[in-house]
Amino acid sequence: MSLSHQQKVYIPKDVRSNQYITAEIKVTDALLAHYPDHNTCYQTFSQAIFNLAEQEELYNVHVITNDKLPVVRFHTEAYCFPTAEQIIFFYNPEYHVAQSLHSKDDYRARKIRIVFLATGEDIRINSANFHIKVQSFLAKLMPQLPEKDLTIKIRDHQHLSYDLFAKAKGNKESYGYKLRTISDRYKARKCPLPEGHGSLCYVTVKLPLSRKLKQAILSEHTNDFTPLYQKLEDAFIQATSAKQLKRIAMVANGLTPLVRNSKYDQVEGTDEVQMLGFDPNLEEQQFIRHWDGNHLVETVSFTIAAGVKDCKDGGLGRYLNRVEDALKSLTSELGLDKSREELIVRFHQHISYQTPEQLVN
């Protein structure tokens, strides 16, 4: 197989593409001093944001002032589903627009989060233009704020999601992606990113624990689920090791995995979120496991993070091909029925940075 062919990954035509950008502004005493109370601050702030967003042609914008974490998924209908710690946005970028303030009475937020959901068609192709729009928006917003020494943390999240078993269900059409890092794609589109920006690439899959799978591994009427989790862990480690995938995690504790760069971010968990910290620069094995044999969960999450070397010289295509091979090996070992079961692969790319002075002057 030629090198250029290896660099491409063939993904089903009906792949879903998502992008959202968050801008986090710390709520300081100095900022709040300009308003009579928290609520007035958030209302005034959000109104300025929504007015400017309309001018800047950003049509799906949310302001979060209750410190909940935004999670974005594709759906044919628009829903906003809050939990104790998260706000899950379901939407179709082609059709859905919104402006919402998500707040909590008499609550002092640690940060104000502005969430920009990409809209329109060809999300991935237009991702740099969307980022430029958000940069322009922030450059115009900052002078409108009463406090001048505020820093903004920008996070750009993108993911492709598709069924690994699409072909087995008769969806033969695929498209060859030559995957590139966000910074390489943005450079080609004249979208400036600061030198020190952080970046992460990883794949997540959720494996439902079907009745068939449980019956194949567990004895009847047992309350010890250790054999099931151990079998999954062993099969996962074996499949990924065979493809030299060294940054992996298995989460089966009912929490939502959240991947961060352990070099820069705190990686403590919460009641709903399981933080997973990987260092993309380290070449040795990084395996994180979170499961308890006394508790049965409905789904097991597997995460495979890319290293720095995987992202260089067009290597992301090769990385995703290796991930797919490992997942196919894992699902074969577990005897999954590809024509009846679904395994959604989510390929995530993130970048983050603090706003440099030139963006907000």
Q: Is the pLDDT of residue 3 over 80?
A: no
φ and ψ at 233, to 5 degrees?
Answer: -60, -50
> How much is the pLDDT for 361?
31
Cβ within 8 Å of residue 95, ≥6 positions away: none
Helix (H, G, I), strand (E, B) or coil at 6: helix
pLDDT over 90 percentage in the chain: 77
Residue type at position 233: E
C-alpha span between 348 and 333 (Å, rounded): 25
Longest CA–CA span in the chain (Å) reads 67
pLDDT in tens, 69-85: 999 988 889 999 999 99
C-alpha span between 288 and 270 (Å, rounded): 16
Q: Is the pLDDT of residue 24 over 60?
A: yes
Looking at every residue in the chain, the average pLDDT score rounds to 91
Question: By the 8 A CB rule, do 349 and 39 touch?
Answer: no
User: On the CB side of 169, how many CA atoms lie within 13 Å of its CA?
Assistant: 15
Question: By the 8 A CB rule, do 263 and 281 touch?
Answer: yes
C-alpha span between 179 and 316 (Å, rounded): 6
Helix (H, G, I), strand (E, B) or coil at 63: strand
To the nearest 10°, the Cα dihedral for 130, 134, 137, 141? 170
pLDDT band (50, 70, 90) for residue 267:
low
pLDDT band (50, 70, 90) for residue 67:
very high
pLDDT over 70 percentage in the chain: 95
C-alpha of 79 from chain center: 18
C-alpha span between 154 and 113 (Å, rounded): 10
pLDDT band (50, 70, 90) for residue 155:
very high
Helix (H, G, I), strand (E, B) or coil at 352: strand
pTM for the full predicted model: 0.92
Among candidates 85, 113, 84, 110, which has minimal Cα distance to 100?
113
Question: By the 8 A CB rule, do 333 and 314 touch?
Answer: no
Helix (H, G, I), strand (E, B) or coil at 100: strand
Stronger pLDDT, 181 or 2, i.e. the higher one: 181
C-alpha span between 2 and 192 (Å, rounded): 33
Q: What is the mean pLDDT of residues 335-349?
A: 94
The mean-pLDDT minimum among 29-33, 118-122, 174-178, 320-324 falls in 174-178
Among candidates 258, 249, 275, which has minimal Cα distance to 70?
258
Q: What is the mean pLDDT of residues 10-29?
A: 94
pLDDT in tens, 157-215: 999 999 999 999 988 899 898 899 999 999 999 998 998 888 999 999 999 999 999 99
pLDDT in tens, 219-266: 888 889 999 999 999 999 999 999 999 999 999 999 999 898 876 555
**Complete DSSP assignment for 303-317:** EEEPPTGGGSTTHHH
**Residue showing tokens 């993070």:** 305
> How much is the pLDDT for 200?
92
> How much is the pLDDT for 195?
86
